[in-house]
Amino acid sequence: MNILFVADPLESFKTYKDTTFSMMREAQHRGHRIAACEPRHLAWRSGGVVCATVRNITLTGADDEWFNETSTPVVPLAEFDAVIMRKDPPFDSEYFYATHLLEQAEREGARVFNKPRTLRDHPEKLAIMEFPQYVSPTLVTRSADDVRAFHAEHQDIILKPLDGMGGMGIFRVKADALNLGSIIETLNKDGSETIMVQRFVPEIAQGDKRILIIGGEPVPFSLARIPQGTEVRGNLAAGGLGVAQPLSDSDWAIARAMGPVLAARGLLLVGIDVIGDRLTEINVTSPTCFQEITQQTGFDVPAMFITALEAALAA
């Protein structure tokens, strides 16, 4: 099998923790061929098909020079057995355009994971609103007055931008409403941008759990990202401590209910975030934590992913 990974520059990978690298390593271990490109390498000429200038690589097993580049041909995406979209956020205009090029490649016969249209149609924070039975009370709005009313009702709230990542732009406001007006102005930019407001979930002290769902099936361990010091954010990018742990009964219930629904939409890999028993985010762009879970528990997450990919291609 010949697999193309559309990702960030290979030179930027931190291979000791990078999930895309762990996918590549498992794929090569099984005898599959590996190529990589960045979204900027995708091209579509009128009258032609979507192609990419790709880097055919082999992994060396070394920590520093971890791959050898064997050639850089221009290849139609439909010639690969699988195209795996692993570009990290932000989901900006260029990411959006890349999904359109990948969708055209699908029409030409390419098999793309996760499905490009679903990536576009599945905003990671807003997507939780489809599953209200698992969500803490939540408001999506531009209205400062509505945010103030929500705070008056719930007293302790979290405010966040819809396009944030890695814990960026998240604020907590307690019952004293300290700086609430300033935070609203900062996030919604005088009513020009939509924000999300949620009732604070105190179980964040035990961690923001990343639960991976692969081919509709939950990985049996989550990675709890535990806030450190005075931080309210558990994100690893914000300094959270990652601790792998077995799924709780409520984790299983949420993941098993959502897994088949999301898989049917063409989402081979999903990372849902759960605090306590409340769903907070559905990550579909480039979910991570493969290596942390595998290293701490011995459960081989990359192997589960490549097995699911092989099964999807055989279906």
Across 222-236, average pLDDT: 80
Question: Each residue of 273-296: pLDDT tens digit?
Answer: 999 999 999 999 999 999 999 999
CA distances from 34 to 11, 59, 106, 293 (A): 16, 9, 19, 24
Respond yes or no: is residue 210 known to be catalytic. yes
* Active-site entry in 125, 199, 209, 278: 125
pLDDT at 233: 67
CB 151 within 8 A of CB 179: no
Respond yes or no: is residue 300 known to be catalytic. no
* Active-site entry in 210, 235, 278, 292: 210
Percent of the chain with pLDDT over 70: 98
Respond yes or no: is residue 225 known to be catalytic. yes
Q: Computed over its alpha carbons, how large is the radius of gyration of the chain?
A: 20
Respond yes or no: is residue 148 known to be catalytic. no
Residues 6+ apart with CB under 8 A from 179: 173
Question: Which range is least confidently modeled, 234-243, 279-288, 303-312?
Answer: 234-243
Q: Which CATH code for domain 203-314?
A: 3.30.470.20
Across 131-138, average pLDDT: 97
User: Could you give the maximum distance between any two Cα atoms of the chain, in Å?
Assistant: 62
For 172, the enclosing helix (H) or strand (E) is strand 171-173
pTM: 0.94
| Distance of alpha carbon 216 from alpha carbon 230, whole angstroms | 36
pLDDT at 170: 92
Respond yes or no: is residue 63 known to be catalytic. no
Is 169 a residue whose pLDDT tops 70?
yes
* Active-site entry in 114, 188, 235, 283: 283
Across 239-257, average pLDDT: 95
Q: Where along the chain do its domains lie?
A: 2-113, 137-200, 203-314
Q: Which CATH architecture has domain 137-200?
A: 2-Layer Sandwich (3.30)
Respond yes or no: is residue 30 known to be catalytic. no
Question: Each residue of 172-206: pLDDT tens digit?
Answer: 999 999 999 999 999 999 899 999 999 999 999 99
Higher pLDDT, 58 or 162: 58
β 33-37/2-6 pair status? parallel
| Mean pLDDT over the full length of the chain | 95
For 26, the enclosing helix (H) or strand (E) is helix 19-29
Across 264-273, average pLDDT: 98
Is 230 a residue whose pLDDT tops 70?
no
| Distance of alpha carbon 104 from alpha carbon 50, whole angstroms | 7
pLDDT at 231: 76
Which pLDDT band holds residue 168 (cuts at 50, 70, 90)? Answer: confident
298: which 2 tokens? 């011995």
Respond yes or no: is residue 17 known to be catalytic. no
* Active-site entry in 160, 199, 209, 278: 160
Across 3-18, average pLDDT: 97
pLDDT at 239: 73
Question: Which range is least confidently modeled, 223-232, 247-256, 270-279, 295-304?
Answer: 223-232
267: which 2 tokens? 């989402």
Statement: 2-113 belongs to CATH 3.40.50.20:
yes
Question: Each residue of 61-117: pLDDT tens digit?
Answer: 998 899 999 999 999 999 999 999 999 988 899 999 999 999 999 999 999 999 999
Respond yes or no: is residue 188 known to be catalytic. no
* Active-site entry in 199, 233, 235, 251: 233
Is 238 a residue whose pLDDT tops 80?
no
Count other C-beta atoms under 10 Å from residue 261's C-beta.
Answer: 13
